Structure 1
Amino acid sequence: MAIGVAQGLTYLHEECSKKIIHCDIKPQNILLDENNNARIADFGLSKILMMDQSRTLTDIRGTKGYVAPEWFRNTKITAKVDVYSFGVLLLEIVSCRRSLNDLENGDELSVLTDLAWDCYTEGNLIL
């Protein structure tokens, strides 16, 4: 499934007649066809770029937990925002955790990317 999503993003970003930034890559927007091939769906937030354009300025788009840091810097975004979201999707697959989880007391939020960073800086990754 992950390879299929990566191939889909490559098509949108590099092979399509117009560059498309999906802006909302997450598990709910990945569908499986009858042969279990991954298909990227829900282009409601997507941004179409001209062929000579690699960056665009737009309002923040996406779903909490999958939004790339670039969105918060008020700068032009690139297709890398989809790559970031895809990375979060891969973290969910390998860790069997959701990108955002309410902790048991209900007051705090566990963020998967923060957990991954903490594990990396503490040297607690299994290689």
Structure 2
Amino acid sequence: MYLHEVCESQIIHCDIKPQNILLDEFYTPKIADFGMAKLLQLDQTRTETDIRGTRGYVAPEWFRNSSIMPKVDVYSYGIMLLEIICCRKTLDLDQGCVREAILSEWVYDCFHKEKIHVLVKEDRSLGRSTNV
């Protein structure tokens, strides 16, 4: 929110991922590595730029040749949250098929098939088996 709404000029980070989130001594998250960031002028809400980011965290807008908005960072942040919830990387080639190897595709398929419980089947903190 700080980058997109509080800063005088909006900043699109373009590479939100776990490796770029640091914790200070109070465990407050800090965003790092602005090497791919894009600065928006005060009157801009979107921009044109070449594709930027890390495979697996890149929002679909990058592949549609459309204008880029701060929402691309929100997408990347969401993928990062899915990694935490599902205890999986964005790309897991050890899975059986391509759609299961790509985290966002697998989550969508589970949601569409009403099998959300499968997303947390490896989470032992639930105190019960979720392999139903």
TM-score by length of 2: 0.83
1:31 corresponds to 2:53: no
Counterpart of 1:101 in structure 2 is 92
Contact 2:79 2:104 in 1 (8 A): yes
Q: Among 87, 90, 111, which residue is 2:102 paired with?
A: 111
Counterpart of 1:20 in structure 2 is 11
Structure of higher CA gyration radius:
2
> Aligned-pair distance for 1:104?
6.3
1:29-71 alpha-carbon deviations (Å, 9 max, x no partner): 0001111111000000000000110000000000000000000
Q: Among 76, 89, 92, which residue is 1:85 paired with?
A: 76
The residue identity in structure 1 corresponding to 2:27 is: N
| Whole-Å separation in 1 of the counterparts to 2:95 and 2:22 | 31
Contact 2:94 2:101 in 1 (8 A): yes
Q: Among 3, 15, 32, which residue is 1:41 paired with?
A: 32
SS, match of residue 100 in structure 1: coil
| Whole-Å separation in 1 of the counterparts to 2:41 and 2:21 | 25
Calculate percent identity across the aligned residue pairs. Answer: 56
Q: Which has the higher contact order (CA 8 A, sep 6+)?
A: 1
TM-score by length of 1: 0.87
Runs of 4+ displaced beyond 2 Å = none
| Whole-Å separation in 1 of the counterparts to 2:23 and 2:73 | 19
Gaps of 5+ in 2: 118-132
Contact 2:95 2:101 in 1 (8 A): no
Superposition CA RMSD, Å: 1.6
SS, match of residue 104 in structure 2: helix
> Aligned-pair distance for 1:103?
1.6
Query: How many residues are treated as equivalent by the alignment?
Result: 116
Equivalent residues in 2 for 1:53-68, closer than 5 Å = 53-68=44-59
| Whole-Å separation in 1 of the counterparts to 2:95 and 2:5 | 43
